[in-house]
Chains A and B, each alone.
Chain A
């Protein structure tokens, strides 16, 4: 035990603090380690696959309704939307995960280190992004192999749809990260997530054309920012680029990231 006393032992760790890049890299690595648990991967992939199966089969007949774009199969119509809604739901989980970490003190030590707490949050966000990207890719592969997903936009259009989904998911995940930093209550986070995300998902252009919705819901769907992201993703996948919706979706995602990120960084410092 006496070696504890000697300050001049072999390993010199001077607490100068590391650079922000090192911090983000180390903390992202810490978060990503969680993905090595195979149960975690299987379960997080299963949920969107179930959603895909349910939606693509249950709502299939919508393709025959008059408001539906002619010559488009329902799977080609709905899968780009499911990319966006799945990424949005994942955002909810990132908030709940962070709230758990904050609750059980896993992050307590980081506040007393000479590092930026924003690095801890960015690490978390990158982890969520990687998990989301994996989910979406699995969805696309399953969609193509099992349900005959083959949109006119092809692989490039689908790739753009994927990127839009991830951008929107990241923006929303920062909103939930900010909520988690201030609320720190897992149950509450999940309730808020449910109350916010589900109406946004369904009162949108995701599963049926907006024209098919009841008039009051149509109003919500038109002002629903998720509709723009969905229209943007679907537009690229179906080779009918919706530039306005795309730019709107990306700008909104960027704005959410910046504003919620600033709020989160302040909140996470509180013990």
Chain B
């Protein structure tokens, strides 16, 4: 098996006049989680559809598990699991029936398929609901069943299209656990998300998409470095100190901004915190609170996509 589980090169996809993907390249090493980050309409789902053999790309090429998504689509389908934005479980069937049906379609015998269903229902905590029609499942349970459905065939790579959209916080954390467990077992995961904390928490590498193009790619740390806006903030104990404190920080070579009793300044390195502390201390200014803030993925996202014409 190749080292790259997903290898998309300059993928283009147009629908009539609309360009959904304009030369997107994504490389995902085996056994890692890759996050596709972007707004609605950025091209995330289109890329997933190309990688899962649903759309043939208009240009470029893509391979999943070493197989071309167009020429060897059938081979690709044997190795992938897909959980879409719309939970595609069969409402009329029970949890067990849903999973057995898929097992049978994937080539398992009746017994094997039932065994696998029991296994998966247990893993997702759905054993009690196993024999109830999926119609009566809550949103979180349905999503779990949907994800379980995509794992029936023990795929090498799992595509999760916005797996936690619309879930309550608890279900969301549960879903994160599932993803982390999948990866621990050697499965490669590609997930799309609009949630920056989700990508930050789960993804080894991230591709930021906007209007069908890659605007940034790398690890979460690399992306933060690229934006490079660490800030120091100091909340003064005494409002009378505001003006002298601003002067002090300017003398220390910073460009402070003021909001109430809180001063903030962009800094280059984490050493800057010590500089600020010493400068304020030397000037005899007391601060209630001092902090160094790493840029969040929100900053990254807004900087990278906001700067585009």
Decide if B184 is an interface residue (CB 8 Å cutoff). yes
Q: Which of A1-25 contact B (CB under 8 A)?
A: 1-7, 9-18, 22-23
Tell me how far the C-beta of B84 lies from the nearest C-beta in chain A, rounded to whole angstroms: 5
Q: What are the residues of chain B within 8 A of A215 when measuring CB–CB?
A: none
B151: nearest residue on chain A (CB-CB)? A4
Decide if B165 is an interface residue (CB 8 Å cutoff). no
Question: Given contacts A4-B185, A112-B82, are A30 and B90 in contact (CB under 8 A)?
Answer: yes
B146: nearest residue on chain A (CB-CB)? A109
Decide if B108 is an interface residue (CB 8 Å cutoff). yes
Tell me how far the C-beta of A189 lies from the nearest C-beta in chain B, rounded to whole angstroms: 20
Q: What are the residues of chain A within 8 A of B116 when measuring CB–CB?
A: 11, 13
A25: nearest residue on chain B (CB-CB)? B104
User: With A and B bound together, what is the CA distance between A14 and B52 in angstroms?
Assistant: 18
B33-41, B72-80, B278-286, B301-309 - interface stretch? B72-80
Q: Which of B74, B82, B105, B115 has the most CB of A within 10 A?
A: B105
Q: What are the residues of chain A within 8 A of B113 when measuring CB–CB?
A: 11, 13
When the two chains form their complex, are residues B78 and A16 in contact, meaning their CB atoms are under 8 A apart?
yes
Question: Given contacts A108-B86, A112-B53, are A13 and B74 in contact (CB under 8 A)?
Answer: no
Decide if A271 is an interface residue (CB 8 Å cutoff). yes
When the two chains form their complex, are residues A30 and B93 in contact, meaning their CB atoms are under 8 A apart?
yes
Q: What are the residues of chain A within 8 A of B186 when measuring CB–CB?
A: 5, 7
When the two chains form their complex, are residues A105 and B84 in contact, meaning their CB atoms are under 8 A apart?
yes
When the two chains form their complex, are residues B78 and A7 in contact, meaning their CB atoms are under 8 A apart?
no
Q: Which of B55, B90, B149 has the most CB of A within 10 A?
A: B90
When the two chains form their complex, are residues B54 and A18 in contact, meaning their CB atoms are under 8 A apart?
no
Q: What are the residues of chain B within 8 A of A146 when measuring CB–CB?
A: none
Decide if B266 is an interface residue (CB 8 Å cutoff). no
User: With A and B bound together, what is the CA distance between A16 and B106 in angstroms?
Assistant: 6
When the two chains form their complex, are residues B102 and A105 in contact, meaning their CB atoms are under 8 A apart?
no
B17-25, B152-160, B214-222, B242-250 - interface stretch? B152-160
Contact with A along B66-107 (1 / 0, CB 8 A): 000000001001111110101110111100010001111111
Count the B residues whose beta carbon is within 8 Å of the partner chain — how many? 50
Q: What are the residues of chain B within 8 A of A30 when measuring CB–CB?
A: 90, 93, 101
Decide if A113 is an interface residue (CB 8 Å cutoff). yes
Q: What are the residues of chain A within 8 A of B105 when measuring CB–CB?
A: 17-18, 22-23, 26-27, 110, 113, 115
Decide if A106 is an interface residue (CB 8 Å cutoff). yes
Tell me how far the C-beta of A269 lies from the nearest C-beta in chain B, rounded to whole angstroms: 8
When the two chains form their complex, are residues B106 and A15 in contact, meaning their CB atoms are under 8 A apart?
yes
A33: nearest residue on chain B (CB-CB)? B92
When the two chains form their complex, are residues B52 and A1 in contact, meaning their CB atoms are under 8 A apart?
no
Q: What are the residues of chain B within 8 A of A33 when measuring CB–CB?
A: 92-93, 97
When the two chains form their complex, are residues A108 and B79 in contact, meaning their CB atoms are under 8 A apart?
no
A contact patch SS: loop
Contact of A13 among B82, B88, B92, B153 (CB under 8 A): B153
User: With A and B bound together, what is the CA distance between A33 and B79 in angstroms?
Assistant: 29
Contact of B55 among A5, A10, A107, A271 (CB under 8 A): A271
Q: What are the residues of chain A within 8 A of B131 when measuring CB–CB?
A: none
When the two chains form their complex, are residues A17 and B78 in contact, meaning their CB atoms are under 8 A apart?
yes
Q: What are the residues of chain A within 8 A of B58 when measuring CB–CB?
A: none
Q: What are the residues of chain B within 8 A of A18 when measuring CB–CB?
A: 104-107
Decide if B112 is an interface residue (CB 8 Å cutoff). yes
Decide if B14 is an interface residue (CB 8 Å cutoff). no
Question: Given contacts A17-B78, A114-B106, are A4 and B178 in contact (CB under 8 A)?
Answer: yes
Q: What are the residues of chain A within 8 A of B119 when measuring CB–CB?
A: 3, 9-11
When the two chains form their complex, are residues A13 and B181 in contact, meaning their CB atoms are under 8 A apart?
no
When the two chains form their complex, are residues B79 and A107 in contact, meaning their CB atoms are under 8 A apart?
no
Question: Given contacts A13-B112, A15-B154, A113-B106, are A105 and B74 in contact (CB under 8 A)?
Answer: no
10 nearest A-B residue pairs (beta carbon): A5-B185, A11-B115, A15-B153, A105-B86, A11-B116, A16-B107, A271-B54, A114-B77, A13-B108, A112-B82
Listed in ascending order, the chain A residues whose CB lies under 8 Å from chain B are 1-7, 9-18, 22-23, 26-27, 30, 33-34, 104-115, 269, 271
Listed in ascending order, the chain B residues whose CB lies under 8 Å from chain A are 49, 52-55, 74, 77-82, 84, 86-88, 90-93, 97, 101-108, 112-113, 115-116, 118-119, 123, 149-155, 177-178, 181-182, 184-186
**Supplied contacts A4-B181, A15-B79, 19 more A-B pairs, CB within 8 Å:** A2-B184, A7-B154, A10-B119, A11-B116, A12-B112, A13-B152, A14-B107, A14-B154, A15-B107, A18-B106, A23-B105, A30-B90, A33-B93, A105-B86, A106-B90, A109-B88, A111-B53, A114-B77, A115-B105
A-B contact pairs, 24 of them (CB 8 A): A1-B123, A1-B177, A4-B123, A6-B185, A7-B186, A9-B119, A13-B106, A13-B153, A15-B79, A15-B155, A16-B78, A17-B78, A22-B104, A22-B107, A23-B105, A33-B92, A105-B86, A108-B88, A113-B102, A113-B105, A113-B106, A114-B74, A115-B105, A271-B54
